[in-house]
Amino acid sequence: MSKRCPACGFANDDSKIFCGSCGEPLDAELRLIKDLEKQKKAPVKEAVTPRPKDDDEDYIPQPMKKKSGCYVATAVYGSYDCPQVWTLRRFRDGQLAASAPGRAFIRLYYAVSPALVRWFGGTAWFQRLCKAPLDRLVDRLQSQGVESTPYQDQDW
Is the pLDDT at 108 greater than 90? The verdict is yes
Give pLDDT, residue 68.
Answer: 56
| Residue of 140 and 29 predicted with greater confidence | 140
SS3 69: coil
Give pLDDT, residue 39.
Answer: 61
pLDDT band for position 154 (cuts 50, 70, 90) = confident
User: What are 116-143's pLDDT values in tens digits?
Assistant: 999 998 899 999 999 999 999 999 999 9
DSSP string across 107-131: HHHHHHHHHHHHHHTT-HHHHHHHH
CB 51 within 8 A of CB 62: no
Look at residues 50, 140, 23 and name the one whose alpha carbon lies nearest to residue 87.
140
Return the half-sphere exposure (C-beta side, CA atoms, 13 A cut-off) of residue 40: 8
Average pLDDT score over residue span 1-7 = 74
